[in-house]
Structure formats: structure tokens, C-alpha cells
A = this chain, B = another copy of it.
Amino acid sequence: MKKRVRIKDIASRANVSTGTVDRVLHNRGKVADDVRKRVLQVIDELGYERNLIASALAYNKQIRVASLLPLTHVDPYWRQTNQGLVAANKSLQHYGMMLEPFFFDYGDPRSFLETARKAIEIQPDGILVPPMFDAEAHWLVDACEASAIPYVFINTHLEDANPVSYIGQDSYQSGVLGARLLNFGLAEGGHVCILNLDYSTRAAQHLISKEKGFKDYFAERPAKKINIIREDFEDFDDPHRLQKFLADLLHSHPLLSGIFVTNSRAYKILDIFEKPIVERNIKIVGFDLIPQNLQYLHDDKINFLINQNPAEQGFIGLHSLFKHLVSKEPVEKIQYLPLDIVVKENAAYYVKKMETTSMVMG
């Protein structure tokens, strides 16, 4: 039932004014050395903890954070990220948080660059961004550092950068897990394909780690004699070309019994080749709980989905910036999110969780 210690209490105990205590607490202004020591001692003695509420109220400043995401109405995955961001913003707006959203074309590095420029132009107090394109992201990092704007990365990491935090998955381990899941019910000597349906301009490090994890898993189980094929395909939005590509793939690998789709586009191959995949009993493991994937999961056409927790990424990302900018707490440099294994039987609860992110966390 002990009362919380206030600045006033410290002041009276140390025989100084609240102003001096304030100066000690914030390292501002001049304080005689002996006085500083005395005050610090009292602070320690009484176990003072700043009242965040009163502090936030008095601080009374707007913090503008720019978010840089792919156009959310095009991509369902990024829409979820944005939902997490909006939820976090809502819970932090009382503390003066102001989110300034920017959007760029998913596949276009130039659009990314141009939008990044605009974001820098408003000189925000912080930036949240998935560094999707290597070169362009590096430009952004340099610009941030030139203006001393802290930034956090979500979803993908970038080498040679020093963000306040990276929030996302452990790519390597997600590859390992993908392999493990694909391995269920996989016959000896089967062929599996690691399929990357994405633009080649995208940041590569992410993918390389994922592949490595995937391959390492099977490499540690040589007895099963699994054959790994790696395929990239850029024109995933062109049904004809995708069809041709997949037809080739299926034809040239008659023993193919599993596909690991490295991103959220698993549904695209089922959209086109549902029948042969079901008939040949090819297992599919993909990522992300977007509606299209969930439908196939529900119909037992996709065996597993790995949830990347996009909403949490956004939520935690913004909170991390807040902690860095306002609470001035230290923030963990790397915040790995769980690798949720989603099957038909537990999918509903993750979907629900996304919808109530604000509730749970606010």
C-alpha cells in the first residue's frame, strides 16, 4: 500500500527544489557535483520510478513516425501489417504518437525510392520500413542517418544497417521449420521444390537464409535421400506464364512430392494447378494467413502455413520506436517473432488474434 515516490518527495528529502531534481533526472542544465550526487542517492534510496502517465501528459509533444509499406489494398499480407500499425498507433496516440503512412508499389524499386524520399522530406521523428530492395533501402538508411532519424526494420533485415530494432522472423529457422513440415509423410527418395515466386530485385539475404535452413534440415537426414530443387519465377502475376512454368516443373520432376513456397503466394500455384497437385498428392507448405491461403488450407490442399505475424510486426515495430523515442528505454536489436505452425484445426484462432491485435496489446 506504499505510495509511489514523486519528484517532490525526492526534492524535499534532498533539500533541493523540484527543478534541481528534474535537472538531475534529465541531465539538463548545471547542477553542482555534490548536489547531483545527493539527489541521485535519494533517488536510489527511495526507488523512484518516473510516472509515465504524468510524464507523457506534461511532455505534450507530437511524435511523427513515417511508415513505408507496399500498397496495402493490393497485397493482403501487407494489409495485415498495416492493421497492426494502425492498432499500435491508436493505443499510442494518447502519448502523442502520430503515424504518417506512405505506400509504394510492391514490385517497383523506383516507387520505393521515390516514396522514401517523400517520407524523409517531412523529417519525421522515426521511420518504420521493410527494407525490401537492397540498394534503395541503403539509400534510405543513409538519408536517415544524415538526418539522425531512427528507423526500425520489419519483415526483412538489411546488412550494414543499424536499425533501432529488427522485428520479424528468423529466416534460417523458418526454412528449417518449412523443411520439417514438408517432411511429414514424405516418402524416401522424394523430390521437393523450394519455390520463390518473387521479383529478383528484392533483398536477397532473407531468402538465402531461408533456403539454407531448408537444405540443412534435409542434409542432416541423408537416409531419406530427398532431392531438393530450387526454382525462381518472377512472372507470377501472369497466369499464362505461371501455368507454363508450373507445367514444366511438374513434367520434368515426376517424383515431385512437396513444394515449399517461400512467401505468401502458395495459393497461386493451386489456383492454376489444383487438380494435378491433389492427384499426385504433392504436399504444400507456405507462409501467411491470407484469405486465399486459408481457403486452400481449409480444403486440405495446403498442408501447413507458417504465420509470419505481420500484424504483430507492425504493432511491435511502432511500439519499439515509441520506446526508443519517448520512454527512452533500450530496445532489443533483434526481436524474433514466433514461427506459428498453422493447420486447418487451429487457423481460426490466429485469424481471430489478428483481428483483435489492438485489444490484446493495447
Q: Which of A14-22, A51-59, A256-264 contacts B (4 or more CB under 8 A)?
A: A51-59
Expressed in whole angstroms, the Cα–Cα distance for A24 and B340 within the complex equals 47
Contacts of A135 in B (CB 8 A): none
Do B52 and A94 touch across chains, with their CB atoms under 8 A apart?
A: yes
Do A345 and B185 touch across chains, with their CB atoms under 8 A apart?
A: no
Expressed in whole angstroms, the Cα–Cα distance for A51 and B180 within the complex equals 49
Interface assignment of A127: CB less than 8 Å from any CB of chain B: no
Contacts of A4 in B (CB 8 A): 93
Interface string of A40-57 (1 = CB under 8 A from B): 000000000001111011
Do A339 and B349 touch across chains, with their CB atoms under 8 A apart?
A: yes
Expressed in whole angstroms, the Cα–Cα distance for A119 and B69 within the complex equals 49
Do B340 and A352 touch across chains, with their CB atoms under 8 A apart?
A: no
Expressed in whole angstroms, the Cα–Cα distance for A312 and B312 within the complex equals 14
Do B337 and A51 touch across chains, with their CB atoms under 8 A apart?
A: no
The residue from B94, B349, B360 contacting A51, defined by CB atoms under 8 A apart: B94
Residue of B nearest to A174 (CB): B346
Interface string of A290-329 (1 = CB under 8 A from B): 0000000000000000000000100010010000000000
- A123: min CB distance to chain B, Å: 14
Do A170 and B336 touch across chains, with their CB atoms under 8 A apart?
A: no
Expressed in whole angstroms, the Cα–Cα distance for A173 and B349 within the complex equals 10
Expressed in whole angstroms, the Cα–Cα distance for A188 and B52 within the complex equals 60
Interface assignment of A350: CB less than 8 Å from any CB of chain B: yes
Do B340 and A338 touch across chains, with their CB atoms under 8 A apart?
A: yes
Expressed in whole angstroms, the Cα–Cα distance for A342 and B346 within the complex equals 12
Contacts of A95 in B (CB 8 A): 53
Interface residues of A in 339-356 (CB under 8 A from B): 339-343, 345-346, 348-350, 352-353, 356
Interface assignment of A176: CB less than 8 Å from any CB of chain B: yes
Contacts of A185 in B (CB 8 A): 184-185
- A165: min CB distance to chain B, Å: 11
Expressed in whole angstroms, the Cα–Cα distance for A274 and B78 within the complex equals 46
- A54: min CB distance to chain B, Å: 5
Residue of B nearest to A337 (CB): B349
Task: Supply 7 A–B pairs (Cβ within 8 Å), ascending by A.
Answer: A53-B95, A57-B57, A335-B356, A337-B353, A339-B345, A340-B340, A341-B346
Chain A contacts to B: CB under 8 angstroms:
1, 4, 51-54, 56-57, 93-95, 98, 170, 173, 176-177, 180, 184-185, 217, 312, 316, 319, 332, 335-343, 345-346, 348-350, 352-353, 356, 359-361
